[in-house]
Structure 1
Amino acid sequence: MKTYNIACIPGDGIGQEVIPAGQTVLAALAAKSTEFRFDFHSFDWGGDYYRRHGVMMPADGLDALRPMDAILFGSAGDPDIPDHITLWGLRLKICQGFDQYANVRPTRILPGIDAPLKRCTPAQLDWVIVRENSEGEYAGVGGRAHQGHPIEVATDVSMMTRVGVQRIMRYAFKLAQSRPRKLLTVVTKSNAQRHAMVMWDEIAKEISAEFPDVHWDKELVDACTARMVNRPASLDTVVATNLHADILSDLAAALAGSLGIAPTGNIDPERRYPSMFEPIHGSAFDIMGQGLANPIGTFWSCVMLLEHIGLTAPAKQLMQAIEAVTADPQLHTRDLGGPAGTAQVTEAVCQQLHNK
């Protein structure tokens, strides 16, 4: 029996509720198998850790994560700590420290969910957004000077490198090639950003020559928001910069019904380091501790985790269990307009796994 070591970092807010739920579901899946098991390694990093130690995670935290097969992450964000400290001190420290340069966010309308696009069938909204996850607008290049004075200046520089753009484009084209429609949309803003985004466009064209069977087009990011609403069936795989994809993927999740159901994977495609999987909903302190958090985004992130470590059949079983639960409106959490809580949804998914 193979043992997979999974690092669990609940982080802040409802992350402390949905990550234990994710562990429960993974344990239920493993209980049915004689071929694999999970060892969960918990790390109490986040806002509470910051209040005790002045940092979001220890200086040698990456060394503790390095031997893991994968990381299950909750959320980073605390109303009493500036957002740039919580983000850069934990989530981005892991993403950049392990060069998880491909952020992958699948979106589709799950059974039983009433999505806001009334003229859209579930088959017409089945997307994967690939987000460049290591540079661009979130490269961290910039600074402030003359703070508090009329001449104060603050800069954030969007930095793109040829190797960074090449590798995310190649990843996106490969992903599009693996999907039935073999369709890729490259999101840009090169009409206004005439240096880095023009290079982005040029490299997309160069990489496209390696994938002659992939049909691709280019869309300005502002036009893409309208296209997602008005012509969802025209999209399949989408690749965008760090900032653009961050925004578009939240819109995508809302169009599919709720941010509470949306998963993401922070992937090191070369598998030099562990990849990290997380729901995209954030810490949601307003509902923390009330048992209201939707764990579906975490469960779907667990599906991505299983696929990444090679457990494709268990991943399919878990996705089927998730879909069976979302098909029942009585098992919808409040964000989906239903009466269920975190524990009830978790129990229902485990029961589905037990019955399979």
Structure 2
Amino acid sequence: MRSHTLAVLPGDGVGPEVTRAALTVLDAAESRFGFDTRRTDVPLGADHHLATGELLTDEATAELDRHDAILFGAIGSPRVPPGILERGIILELRRRMEQAINLRPVRLYEGVPTPIAGLTPERCDLVVVRENTEGAYVAQGSSVHVGTPAQVAVQESVNTWYAVERAVDFAYRLASVRRGRLTLCHKTNVLVEAGKLWTAVMESVGERYPDVETDYVHVDALCMHLPVSPERFDVVVTDNLFGDIVTDLGAVLQGGLGVAASGNLNLDGAHPSMFEPIHGSAPDIAGRGWANPAGACLSLAMLLGHLGEGEAAAAVEAATAAVLAGLPAPGGEAMGASTQELCERIAAAVADDATPEVPGSLMAQLAAVAAGRAAEG
């Protein structure tokens, strides 16, 4: 039997609720597809920080590093000042684990309501590949003359050929197993030096993928095109900050933050990749059963695809999409069912092999890309 090791970071707020839901769905996938996971809970988040003063310690890093993948819920609490948990755990974890890519699909599933009038699933199926370790998120900066009218804040943005090339190469690989189109999103008319580097990397790496069609769009133009004509895009590659912003806009198209998934990918297998819904910890609804587990379940599907469990990944995606299609609303009390009830429905649909696979499943495509990289390595 195939076996994988999984570190589980439930986190804060609704994080534990949606993570439990995803693990229930994972149980169903294991039973149907003949693999297993050995799971370890790792206590990182607000409660642990407030009790111990710890963020991401060397010991916790070593524990995570012993696993094949990480399933993450959400981090954040009004009891901890903004930036402490985010920088001290999330950004630090991405850096230590060399999670070079933040991968976020923007897909509208059949039957899921969207606020964009006239938008159909056929028109909304793209993936954003976000460089995940640099840009404005290197967390380097300084302030002087604090507390005076002369206060100055400097926040650094860093771009290296090495990190940009990793993101761009992965984006080309993904485009080559999808519809063969890759768009660079940046702001080259203002961020001139960074833009030059990104453009040069695109041209250099593109020589290895002659069958992939490429184009360029400014980030502000992308924010205009995305709600109006998302069908223009297949795979989009962009820097850390731009990727963070445009994918939240993308989540609106697909039904809201509660149904959006993401993966933080280590590309060489030296450290585990981490998968998480893109919604926050939502402490205002924690414990009420109002959190939609779809984002966590779709993140689980990405995790399975990355581990090479392509059939299970596609089944979890299909089951989640089928249950989403039957909801009167994508989140909150108006969903008409609790977090636990929804996860049980998704798990039952995974167990039922009559649930049709989503056409052009990203989860299966991830498995294909992972297999190609393994063959090369």
**Class of the TM-score when normalised by the shorter of the 2 chains:** over 0.9
**Contact 1:334/1:340, CA 8 A, preserved across alignment:** no
Q: Contact between 2:75 and 2:281, CA under 8 Å: does it hold in 1? A: yes
Q: Aligned residue for 2:19?
A: 19
Distance 1:322 1:175 in 2: 23
- 2:350 equivalent to 1:353: yes
Please list, as runs of the form range in 1=range in 2, the aligned pairs for 1:165-314 lying within 5 A after superposition.
Answer: 165-179=164-178, 181-314=179-312
Q: Which amino acid aligns with 1:260?
A: G
- Distance across 2 between alignment mates of 1:323 and 1:57: 34
Q: Residue in 1 aligned with 2:360?
A: none
Distance 1:335 1:128, change over 3 A: farther
Instruction: Give percent identity, aligned residues only.
Output: 36
Aligned-partner residue type, residue 100 of structure 2: Y
Question: Quick check: 1:153 aligned with 2:152?
Answer: yes
CA distance in 2, matches of 1:21, 1:135: 32
Distance apart, 1:128 and its partner CA? 0.3
Superposed CA RMSD in Å reads 1.5
Residue in 1 aligned with 2:341?
Answer: 344
> C-alpha displacement at 1:335, in angstroms?
4.7
- Listed one character per residue, the Cα deviations across residues 69-97 of structure 1 (whole Å, up to 9, x for unaligned) are 11000111111212211111111121110
SS at 2:314's partner residue?
A: helix
1:123 and 2:97 equivalent? no
For the residues of structure 2 that align with 1:202 and 1:335, how far apart are their CA atoms? 45
Unaligned runs of 5+ residues in structure 2 are: 354-377
The one-letter amino acid of 1:184's match is L
Task: Tell me, in whole angstroms, the C-alpha distance in 1 between the residues paired with 2:352 and 2:201.
Answer: 49
For 1:29, give the aligned amino acid. A
Q: Distance in 2 between matches of 1:121 and 1:66?
A: 41
Which has the higher mean CA deviation after the structures are superposed, 315-324 or 282-291?
Answer: 315-324
Cα distance in structure 1, aligned partners of 2:234 and 2:82: 32
Distance 2:46 2:121 in 1: 38
Cα distance in 2 for residues equivalent to 1:124 and 1:201: 27
Conserved 8 A contact 1:292-1:333: no
Match of 1:107 in 2: 106
Residue 5 of structure 2 corresponds to 5
Counterpart secondary structure, 1:28 = helix
The number of equivalent residue pairs is 353
Q: Whole-Å Cα distance in 2 between the matches of residues 71 and 16 of structure 1?
A: 14
TM-score (norm 2): 0.90
Aligned pairs (5 A) from 1:81-100: 81-100=80-99
Deviation track 1:90-146 (CA, whole Å, cap 9, x = no partner) reads: 111211101101110111111221112222210110010000001011112211223
Letter of the structure 1 residue corresponding to residue 22 of structure 2: G
